[in-house]
Amino acid sequence: MKIDTKSKKVNKAWLNEHLSDAYVRMAQKDGYRARAAYKLKEIDESLQLIRPGQVVVDLGAAPGAWSQYLRRRFAPKEAGVGGAAVGDLNGTIIALDLLEFEPIEGVVFIQGDFREEAVLAQLETELAGRPVDLVVSDMAPNLSGIEGVDAARISHLVELAIEFSVSHLKPEGVLVSKVFHGSGYSQLNDLFKKTFKRVKAIKPKASRDRSSETFLVGIGLK
């Protein structure tokens, strides 16, 4: 069997970088499932978005680091094992993803494709008519490597998150959505500005330097 030595070198380099990453080590120490928790943490601390008692929808939630951070914010005095708090939960967290999701105490999880009407209907059933304070979206499509195709897939997911937010957020509600610099970014930024009263673009320190990801934050529906 022929072994792709170049691929092996790339994988080894990635693994070495991953294991030496400060945020990976912090996540292991703090009990978070992924370093992504610190991206939401930085956005939250910068803008003071998350407060106990809120209704939050976490889109693209697997493996669960953002839901863990939300759970901790909703029970700050009950810090427990595994990156999430335990005990009483002052707030509602509904997480959704195509992938499986190891349960987090008090977090409602829906497995399915956000693009499908049946999955959206299930999400609306869980909301039971309650308006949403905050939508956080770390959704990203499987990338093909073809720039135009990938830009369209990314834009579609962000547009769906905006559409959901318009239908379900409180007037002063907030959407945090992952986007990528490149083709389609300026159009998504314009769409945020048409939809929300205030828009901020944040690239958290926990985002890798070479990554083109940025988070757009829309505050208050127009």
Annotated binding site for S-adenosyl-L-methionine: 64, 66, 97, 113, 138
65-to-28, 77, 166, 203, 214 alpha-carbon distances in Å: 11, 19, 25, 18, 18
| Catalytic residue, candidates 178, 194, 197, 205 | 178
Per the annotation, binding residues are: 64, 66, 97, 113, 138
HSE of 142 in the Cβ direction (CA atoms, 13 Å)? 3
Residue spans of alpha helices (H) in 52-134: 65-74, 117-127
β pairing state of 169-180 and 132-137: parallel
Burial class (CB in 10 A: 0-12, 13-18, 19+), 82: middle
Burial class (CB in 10 A: 0-12, 13-18, 19+), 32: buried
Burial class (CB in 10 A: 0-12, 13-18, 19+), 176: buried
Indicate the SS3 state at residue 196: strand
Say whether 12 is catalytic.
no
Ranges assigned E (strand) in 32-116:
55-59, 92-97, 107-111
Q: Is the peptide bond before 131 cis (omega within 30 degrees of 0)?
A: no
CA nearest neighbour of 39 among 142, 136, 157: 136
Question: Which of the residues are catalytic?
Answer: 178
